[in-house]
C-alpha cells in the first residue's frame, strides 16, 4: 500500500469545498471528502467526521450532517 497522503489544509486549492448556496452539491462534497480520507488512509469514524467538518465554513458546519 502506498504511503498516506496528508490531508490538505483548509482553504488549499486541493481541499474539498462546499458552497451552501448550492445544497445540491452536498453529496459531491462528501464524496470528495471520502476520497481525500482514503488517500490519507483515515478510517476512524470520529476522524472522518472531523475531516468532513474541517473544510466547511463555521456556519455550514453547524447545519450540515457529516457521515
Secondary structure (DSSP) of 10-38: TT-TTS----TT-GGGHHHHHHHHHHHHH
Mean pLDDT on 11-38: 92
- Residue 67 or 18, more confident: 18
Contact (CB, 8 A) for 44 and 37: no
What's the N-to-C CA distance of the chain in angstroms?
Answer: 25
Q: What are the extents of the domains in the chain?
A: 27-63
67 band by pLDDT with thresholds 50, 70 and 90: low
Whole-number pLDDT of residue 65 = 66
Note the pLDDT of residue 45.
Answer: 92
61 has pLDDT over 70: yes
Cα distances (Å, whole numbers) of residue 16 to 1, 11, 19: 23, 9, 10
Rounded to whole angstroms, the Cα distance separating 36 from 51 reads 9
Average pLDDT, the chain: 88
Amino acid at each position: 500500500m502506498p504511503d498516506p497522503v496528508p490531508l490538505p489544509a483548509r482553504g488549499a486549492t486541493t481541499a474539498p469545498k462546499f458552497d451552501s448556496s448550492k445544497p445540491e452539491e452536498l453529496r459531491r462534497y462528501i464524496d470528495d471528502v471520502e476520497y481525500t480520507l482514503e488517500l490519507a488512509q483515515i478510517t476512524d469514524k470520529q476522524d472522518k467526521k472531523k475531516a468532513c467538518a474541517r473544510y466547511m465554513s463555521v456556519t455550514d458546519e453547524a447545519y450540515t450532517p457529516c457521515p
